[in-house]
Amino acid sequence: MDDWKTPPPSYRPGEQPTGWRRKWPVVTLFSAVGVILLGIAIAWTYTVHFRKFPPDRADPAALAWPLPEGPSVVVLPISAVTSTDRDILLAERYGDDLIELFSRVPGLFVISPETSSRFGGGQFRIKSTAEQLGVRYLVTGNLSRSGGTQYRVLLKVIDAFSGEPEWVKDFDIDPEHLFEVSAKALLRMLDAMDVDLEEGGLAALRALAPTQSKAWIAYAEAVAYRVVDDRQSMANSLARLKQAHEADVQWAAPAREIAWTYLNAALRDWTSPEMPGREDLAREGLRYADALIGRDPRDPFGPARKAALLEVIHGDTEETLGLLREAARLGPNVFAIQWDYAQALIRADRRGDALPVMKRALRVHPRHPVALTQALAELEFAAGDPEVAFASLASVIKIRPAAEDPRLMHIYLLATLNRQADAEAAAREFLSLHPDFSFAAWSELQSRRGRPVREEWRETLLRIGIPG
Q: What is the pTM of this model?
A: 0.84
Task: Determine which helix (DSSP H) or strand (DSSP E) holds 109, and give its type and residue range.
Answer: strand 109-110
Question: What gap in Å lies between CA 125 and CA 127, rounded to an integer?
Answer: 6
What is the residue-level pLDDT of the chain in tens, covering all 468 positions? 455 455 555 545 555 555 555 556 666 766 777 778 777 777 766 565 555 556 889 999 999 999 998 999 999 999 888 778 888 888 888 889 899 999 999 999 999 999 998 887 667 789 999 999 999 999 999 888 877 778 888 999 999 999 999 999 998 888 777 777 887 888 899 999 999 888 778 888 888 888 888 898 899 999 999 999 999 999 999 999 999 999 998 899 999 999 999 999 999 999 988 889 999 999 999 999 999 999 999 999 999 999 999 999 998 889 999 999 999 999 999 999 999 999 999 999 999 999 999 999 999 999 999 889 999 999 998 888 888 988 999 998 888 888 888 988 899 889 888 888 988 898 899 889 888 888 888 888 888 877 777 888 888 888 888 888
Taking alpha carbons only, the member of 402, 430, 398 closest to residue 414 is 430
Question: What gap in Å lies between CA 450 and CA 467, rounded to an integer?
Answer: 23
Tell me the DSSP string of 304-321: HHHHHHHHHHH-S-HHHH
Residue pair 467/438 in contact by the 8 Å Cβ criterion = yes
